[in-house]
Each structure stands twice: as structure tokens, then as C-alpha cells.
């Protein structure tokens, strides 16, 4: 499984730098998430069926697949965001750094402080740029002094490559920013609380290609410090930025007669795109999905 084909898929015109893939900077090979037989239900409806895979430290893990395949649902399990939906129920094992985060003793708030999230649509608070970034540190009681908070805001905006564009208008409303800027603001806001992991749910789907490229560059820069899990509809994006890819698909559940998300294949990204072992993966990545 770990042996990938030496060449990138010529059909997609992908140019994956294999040396970069092999030597992930700062990679300790430590596992961040271990998922085993994960099932997610919304009421009686099973959204995800028996997903098993592992997310490694300082890597970008992409989750791809057609709509309704449960990839966003799985992503939202990682920081217990599904708890916000009253009918959602999670079964199976999901360990974050060897700790089962669905243990009854675990407080989801503590989980979310360590695992940040960036959403599909930029969702800045209707507050100033400064207050958006300062929200998390304030809530978590990270800054004792105003100057500490100022530092956190500047650092976070710097890391999100937004500081130069907004440093003169920190007191202006965040809603005055462009869509791409808003999404970088949301990334800055997420990293302001210094999380261990960053979950990204189709962070570029509402952005134009230039803004998308900036976010992708940003992800490459910050992955030295964070572990990133990203859901994307864009296969090229997954191929460009991720180290590992999980391919999900929706399949008819023979018992309930409902469509249910299924993890088909999980491997190194170049393997998924050039030499997948499952036919469904190959059909999807080559555009012959059916």
C-alpha cells in the first residue's frame, strides 16, 4: 500500500513532487487521529459506515468524494462538532493522540480548543477584524494583558498572510473584507488559539482561483506547525496539497435502503491518484465516476 508508483498520473497532468511527499518536514510519523469502525447516524439515518483510517502528524490529509458521501460528517467528528446537531450519534473508536474523544468524561469544548476548524463559507463574526482574531484567545483566557493579545492578533494575521492587507484597519468590520480575505481571517482566527490540528471543510469552495492559490500556499506553510485535515470537492486541490487522501463514496445500504457514506480507499495521495487499488477510486479520480 505504501509503495506508490514512481510516476504521477499523466491523465490528470499532475506533477507531484515525490521527494517532498516522502520527506515531510517535522514529520514524526506520530498518529494524531486513529479512526476505527466509525459510524455516524443522524436519527435513524446512517451517514457514515465503518470508516477506519489514521491521520498522521504534520501532514495534510485530504478527504475527497462525491456529495453526500459523508466526508464532511467525518471531519466534524474530529472536533465533536456533530454534537451541535441534536440527533447526531457517533459510534466506533476515534482517538485523538491516543485519547478517545467520545469518552463520556471528555468535554467537547476542551477538544475544540485543541482542534480548530475552518468552514466552507467564510463565517467571520460581525465584529472588527481585531475582535475576530481575539475572540478565541479571549474565550480561552490566553492573554492576560492587552499587549499579549495584540501580539497574538498580529502573529495570527501574519501566519495567515493577511497582516499587511489589514494592519491599518484592524478596527474595521471583518465583513468589509473580500471573500478570500475573510477566509484567511477565519484561518487566522482558528490558529490564534494555537490548536494542534486544523480541520478545513472545503475552505476554497466559495473562492476564486487566485484566492484559492493563496490559501493553498498558506496551508503548505503552516503544516510544519499543524496537522491539517481537509475536505475538498476539488481533486486537483487534493492532489496538489495533500500527503494522504481518503476517498469516500455514497453507496446504497442494503438493510435500510438509504445512501450511506463509505470510505473506499485511504492511501498516500500519489497512490490514490496514480495507482488506486479500488476500481471506484480509479473511476472517480479519472472523472469516470458512475
Partner 1 sequence: MSDTRVDSAKGFSVESLTANPRQARKERLIRDSLGATALVSVLISGLIIWSLFSEAWTFMVEVDWGSVWDIGWFPRRGIYDIKTLIVASLIVTGIAMIVAGPLGLGAAIYLSEYARPGVRRTLKPILEILAGIPSVVLGFFALEWIAPNVVKTLFGGPAAGSLLAAGIGVGVLVVPLVASISEDAMKAVPMSLREASSGLGARKITTTIRVVLPAAVSGLMAAFIVAVSRALGETMVVFMAGGAAQTAVYTHDPLEGSLPLTAGMTSLARGTDSVVGEGLTFQSLFFVGLLLFVVTFALNVVADRFVHRVREQY
Residues that bind partner 1 (CB under 8 A): 79, 81, 84, 86, 109-110, 112-113, 116-117, 119, 121, 123-127, 135-136, 139-140, 173, 175, 186, 189-190, 193
Give the residue with the Cβ less far from partner 1, 104 or 209: 104
Least distance from partner 1 to the Cβ atom of residue 2, Å = 33
Round to whole Å and give the CA distance between 187 and 200: 9
Task: Give the DSSP letter string of 62-125.
Answer: EEE-STTSSHHHHHHHHTTGGGGSTTEEEEEEEEETTEETTSTT--HHHHHHHEEEE-SS----
Output 76 or 244, the one with its CB closest to partner 1.
Answer: 76
* Choice between 20 and 140, CB closer to partner 1: 140
Cell numbers 498580529: residue = 154
CB of 112 to partner 1, least distance (A): 5
| Least gap, CB of 130 to partner 1 (angstroms) | 14
Residue 188 to residues 157, 215, 249, 251, Cα–Cα distance (Å): 5, 11, 32, 37
Q: Output 112 or 159, the one with its CB closest to partner 1.
A: 112
Distance, in Å, from the CA atom of 233 to the CA atom of 203, rounded to the nearest integer, reads 10
Of 235, 203, 209, 210, which Cα lies nearest the Cα of 14?
A: 235
Tell me how far, at minimum, the Cβ of 109 lies from partner 1, in Å. 5
- 3-state secondary structure string, 153-179? HHHHHHHCCCHHHHCCCCCCEHHHCCH
CB of 82 to partner 1, least distance (A): 11
Cβ nearer to partner 1, comparing 189 with 214: 189
Cβ closest to partner 1, residue 182 vs residue 245:
182
3-state secondary structure of 35: strand
Min CB(86)–partner 1 separation in Å: 6
Amino acid at each position: 500500500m505504501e509503495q506508490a508508483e514512481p510516476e504521477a498520473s499523466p491523465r490528470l497532468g499532475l506533477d507531484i513532487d515525490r521527494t517532498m511527499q516522502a520527506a515531510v518536514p517535522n514529520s514524526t510519523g506520530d498518529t494524531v487521529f486513529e479512526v476505527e469502525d466509525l459510524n455516524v447516524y443522524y436519527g435513524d439515518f446512517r451517514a457514515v459506515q465503518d470508516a477506519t483510517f489514521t491521520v498522521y502528524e504534520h501532514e495534510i490529509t485530504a478527504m475527497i468524494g462525491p456529495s453526500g458521501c459523508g466526508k464532511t460528517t467525518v471531519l466534524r467528528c474530529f472536533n465533536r462538532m456533530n454534537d451541535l446537531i441534536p440527533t447526531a450519534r457517533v459510534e466506533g473508536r476515534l482517538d485523538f493522540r491516543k485519547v478517545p474523544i467520545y469518552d463520556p468524561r471528555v468535554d467537547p469544548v476542551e477538544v475544540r480548543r485543541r482542534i480548530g476548524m475552518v468552514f466552507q463559507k467564510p463565517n467571520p463574526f460581525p465584529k472588527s477584524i481585531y475582535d475576530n482574531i481575539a475572540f478565541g484567545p479571549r474565550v480561552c483566557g490566553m492573554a492576560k494583558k492587552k499587549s499579549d493579545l495584540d501580539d497574538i492578533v498580529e502573529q495570527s494575521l501574519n501566519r495567515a498572510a493577511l497582516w499587511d492587507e489589514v494592519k491599518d484597519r484592524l478596527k474595521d468590520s471583518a465583513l468589509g473584507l473580500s471573500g478570500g480575505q475573510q477566509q484567511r481571517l477565519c484561518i487566522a482566527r482558528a490558529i490564534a488559539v494555537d490548536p494542534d490540528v486544523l480541520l478545513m471543510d472545503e475552505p476554497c469552495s466559495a473562492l476564486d482561483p487566485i484566492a484559492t492559490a493563496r490559501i493553498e500556499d498558506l496551508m503548505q506553510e503552516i503544516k510544519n506547525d499543524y496537522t491539517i485535515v481537509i475536505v475538498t470537492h476539488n481533486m486537483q486541490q487534493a492532489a496538489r496539497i495533500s500527503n494522504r487522501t481518503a476517498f469516500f463514496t455514497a453507496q446504497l445500504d442494503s438493510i435500510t435502503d438509504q445512501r450511506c457514506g463509505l470510505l473506499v480507499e485511504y492511501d498516500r495521495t500519489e497512490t490514490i491518484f496514480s495507482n488506486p487499488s479500488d476500481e471506484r477510486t480509479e473511476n472517480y479520480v479519472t472523472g469516470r465516476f458512475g
